Amino acid sequence: MINFLKQTLASVIGTLAGLFLFTTFGISSVVILLITLASVETEPVLKNNSVLVLDLSTKIQDREPLVNIQDILSAKDQSVLTLNQVIKNIEKASKDDRIKAIFLDGSNADNGSGYANSSEIRQALKKFKESGKKIIAYDVTVSEQEYYLTSLADTLIVNPMGVMELNGIGTEPLFWTGALDKYGIGVQVVRVGEYKGAVEPYLRTQLSPENRQQLEVLLNNIWDNYLQEVGETRQISPNNLQRIADSQGILYPQEAQQLKLIDQVDYRNKAVSILKEITNNQEESLRQVSFSNYVNIPVTGVTDNSSNNKIAVVYLEGAIVDGVGTREQVGGTRFAQLLRKIGDNEQVKAVVIRINSPGGSATGSDIILREIQLIQEKKPVIISMGNVAASGGYWIATGGEHIFAQPNTITGSIGVFGVLLNIQEIANNNGITWDVVKTAKFADLGTATRPKTEEELAIYQKSVNRVYDLFLEKVAQSRDLSKEKVANIAQGRVWSGDMAKKIGLVDSFGGLDAAIEYAAKQTDLGKDWQIQEYPTNRGFAELFIKKTLDEDMKVTQNNVDPLTQEFLKFQEELKVIQNFNDPRGIYSLLPFNWELR
């Protein structure tokens, strides 16, 4: 029996050891194989008389996209590009003799990159046209955001079966109050700011008059800017464009052509034939290169500077949370560490903070702000606002010496609030109760098992008031404004970049490039500098293991039915609550999940 047990035990140990070795070396081999496959890259070949193609379904974001194994091994073009890559590609193509035109291909378009990002791309495309080269565009379902870019084309073609949207922009905030009441979840709110509508989804079933007013002013400002820019390009007055939006909204291609909104009604092959004429191409297929491939193609006379003098570009993209946060969040602790390293790096001569955030944790925002202020004592810090830089995002922006924004950037929202949830009713209805033993009156102040008393609410309100007062002081000092004036333009009110510049919250209009150029001038480095982007991408092996253990399952909204799309939007709204982790329960956040339609 003893020998049998020994043999059995030895067999089990041997089997486990074998499995361990197989697993270890098996996974290692797979990782090594994948790294090898990923590293064996052939440089794309670019022929003369080629066309640079921008797929309008490409998602354009500030930060380098998160990579997964499927993306690396797939033969498909990268579906996500950074804004900087797109801008640099357009600038590079304007000087590249091999590129004769840009093709804006909307065959599968569902563009949602934001109006501020689109504004930067639009400016780059205008400069491309000024170089004497052509832009040809083709689309099927023309959204307003796509039209903001394609309206610049020398020739804009729309599929005969397509449609064009020109019906204004809007937003549709979601309200939770009825559901919270139905399920017995109590909500109490402490806030400062007449316009601080971030708490309205938990208290109301519709917009307050103040919140509706600010949204109307904001959207009208962005829309007026849109009409002005598109009208100038298409040589149509903004008033006429407004009449079309009010009277028709959705146009068939033939109607859009008659109104001179587009140039031709035809299929994609028509756009290809025009591009072949431009490039004098007699071959069967069009000579083309995608934006993702063009990133890696060198151009004679157009090279990135190599220098020991660095301008650090730090991307703060996502909701601001306390602590480390996830890859999609701006974690106060994580970014504070990163900024300290940048501040101590002697090669870094200036820092550009690119903010694309609706805000979030007041504590996380202030931790990041302090590190920016410490850097500012040693080297210039310039702020570049993306699509959204509001609430906590603006809190952070006060640390810079100069703020750049686009006219259609969403900013401001200078206000704070706290949401106090309790589950007493829903728990009691299901037979759950609590009792408490405490040594002081407020020992259970932070409990979620009952509503707060008036005295407890007063404690929270005092804390919110203090944080709001600090916010006002930081803005007043940073913007050289009186605290009284800041109080008048604060109140949680949201502003467009255009309005923010008029009231002194923003210094200049311009995109990321403008901020970088300004930073270079502040350092007197001439052209002897190089951009260094942060956070840096992790190695492939780390990404592989991370994605193996934590694969994000995503559904593309344009491939699902309308009901599922609404549930996906609902899921996005839930993320707002998941970001509520401030240790003091105080937040500076936009009054809605920002989405223009």
DSSP string, 482-495: -HHHHHHH-TT-EE
CA dist 49 → 240, 257, 399 (Å): 39, 30, 47
Q: Which amino acid is at 303?
A: T
Q: How far is CA 19 from CA 7, 9, 28, 453, 548, in A?
A: 18, 15, 14, 60, 19
**Position of tokens 């001439």?**
526
310 is annotated as an active-site residue? no
Residues of the chain with pLDDT under 50: 1-10, 12-25, 27-41, 74-78, 539-560, 563, 566
Paired residues of 533 in beta bridges: 313
Which one-letter amino acid corresponds to residue 312? A
The predicted structure's pLDDT at residue 396: 97
Question: Catalytic residue among 391, 413, 478, 496, which?
Answer: 391
- Nearest Cα residue to 413 out of 391, 388, 386, 389: 391
Give the C-alpha separation, 490 to 214, whole Å.
12
Query: How much is the pLDDT for 110?
Result: 66
Coil, strand or helix at 229: helix
Answer for the pair 116, 386: CB distance below 8 angstroms, yes or no. Answer: yes
pLDDT of residue 196: 66
Cα dist. 118→191, 310, 316, 366 in Å? 34, 27, 19, 30
For residue 90, the model assigns a pLDDT of 97
CA gap 274, 546 in Å, rounded: 46
Which positions ≥6 away from 82 have C-beta within 8 Å?
A: 60, 61, 62, 63, 64, 65
Burial bucket for residue 266 (CB in 10 Å: 0-12, 13-18, 19+): middle
Q: Which pLDDT does position 319 carry in this prediction?
A: 92
Quickly list DSSP for 332-397: HHHHHHHHHHHHH-TTEEEEEEEEEE-EEEHHHHHHHHHHHHHHHTTS-EEEEEEEEEETHHHHHH
**DSSP letter, residue 177:** H
Q: Is-contact 281 287, C-beta < 8 A?
A: yes
Residue position matching structure tokens 């604060």: 490
At 301 the three-state DSSP class reads: coil
- Residue 142: strand, helix, or coil: strand
How far apart CA 323 and CA 360 sit, in angstroms, is 12
34 DSSP 8-state letter: H
Per-residue pLDDT at 551: 40
Of the residues 88, 92, 100, 196, only one is catalytic, namely 196
Residues in the chain: 597
Q: What pTM was estimated for this model as a whole?
A: 0.80
pLDDT at 2: 41
β pairing state of 249-251 and 186-192: unpaired
User: Which residues are CB-neighbours of 485 under 8 A, at least 6 positions away?
Assistant: 476, 504
* 196 is a catalytic site residue: yes
Phi, psi of 68 (to 5 degrees): -125, 170
Predicted pLDDT of residue 39: 45
Q: How far is the C-alpha of 569 from the C-alpha of 546, rounded, in Å?
A: 26
Residue 331: how many other CB atoms lie within 10 Å: 24
Which of the following CATH numbers is that of domain 50-167+248-294: 3.40.50.720, 3.30.2350.10, 3.90.226.10, 3.30.470.20?
A: 3.90.226.10
